[in-house]
Amino acid sequence: RSRKQQENLSASMRKSHPTPTPFTYPSEQWGLELEMQSDFRLYYQPIVALDTGRISGFEALVRWYHPTRGMVSPVDFIPLAEETGLIMDLGDWILQTACYQLREWQSKFPHGLEVTMVVNLSSLQLHNPHLVSQIQQLLDEMNLDNRYLKLEITESGLMENEEIALDLLRTMREAGIQLSIDDFGTGYSSLARLHNLPVNTLKIDKSFLQRTTFDHESWEIIETIIILAHKLGLTVVAEGIETGDQFELLQRLNCDYGQGYWLSRPMDASGATALLAKNPQW
């Protein structure tokens, strides 16, 4: 994309970005107000236990609807939001909206809903010294148990900010918030560092699966990551499962969880709610 186009996109992002709204839950309008002010929406993609088929969580994925451009991919606007600093407010909004949605689900399905809300954090958000206390306040206000929130940080984001990140992750872990390393295998973390990271889960980057149809080596890498993760006491999520063959192979390799179009595409809130409603035992 050209510099000029980027500038235009930044300018329109600034304009359409919601002005930070004070947090007023349990006001019924809270979620709606934000929705009307902004062109941002969260979609939710199920993360499924490969042995039982149970939905273990939903990953919140942000979408931006531009009045003339239509849907802009987060791959394009997250880097812009990071460049402009908007990621801080947008990141807060994402956390609030995701927790609000989870609150709604837990209220709607009060009998044993064990679904986790998974939220991506930009590595820039790790620089907010109040992040943990803000998240704790949010969870308290929503009356959500900390263990139902899982935060994803990419492997590269983590390694670029190792000092800050480690402290922060430890504090989160102590608070009982779950943590995943996203896009694992694309960064440059050494195994020695991995051992010290206070996380629960490794998420194997989808690029490994995308290469696997004819590629034996990629499968060996995936198998190795799964074995390594299990040895370190971590669970593994494979992202980007697009075929039944991939699903079966991952099952055979003892991968714990999967996510991908073959299981379910990301859905809007009402789609995800309908899916939850289909099975009272989720």
Burial class (CB in 10 A: 0-12, 13-18, 19+), 182: buried
Longest dimension (CA), the chain: 54
In the complex with Mg ion, which residue's Cβ is closer, 179 or 249?
Answer: 179
* Sign of the Cα pseudo-torsion (262, 265, 269, 271, in order): negative
What's the helix, strand, coil split of the chain in %, to 5?
50, 20, 30
Residue 261 engages ligand C2E in binding (rule: CB under 6 A): yes
Residue 61 engages ligand C2E in binding (rule: CB under 6 A): yes
Say if CB 30 and CB 100 are below 8 A apart: yes
Q: Give the one residue of 153, 206, 229, 238 binding ligand C2E; rule: CB under 6 A.
A: 206
Which of 168, 68, 178 is CA-nearest to residue 124? Answer: 168
179 three-class SS: strand
Residue 97 engages Mg ion in binding (rule: CB under 5 A): no
Least distance in angstroms from the C-beta of 14 to Mg ion: 25
Residue 152 engages Mg ion in binding (rule: CB under 5 A): yes
Q: Which of the ranges 30-38, 116-124, 229-237, 274-282 carries the binding residues for ligand C2E, by CB under 6 A?
A: 116-124
In the complex with ligand C2E, which residue's Cβ is closer, 150 or 206?
Answer: 206
Task: Tell me which of ligand C2E, Mg ion, none is bound by residue 65, counting a contact when its beta carbon lies within the kind-specific cut-off of 5 to 8 angstroms.
Answer: none
Least distance in angstroms from the C-beta of 110 to ligand C2E: 27
Q: Which of the ranges 147-155, 246-254, 256-264, 272-280 carries the binding residues for Mg ion, by CB under 5 A?
A: 147-155
| Tokens matching residue 207 | 């690029």
* Sign of the Cα pseudo-torsion (179, 182, 187, 191, in order): positive
CA distance 119 to 111: 23
Interaction residues for ligand C2E, span 133-192 (CB under 6 A): 152, 182-183
Binding site for Mg ion (CB under 5 A): 120, 152, 182-183
Interface contacts to ligand C2E, rule CB under 6 A? 45, 60-62, 73-75, 78, 94, 120-122, 152, 182-183, 206, 239-242, 259-261, 266
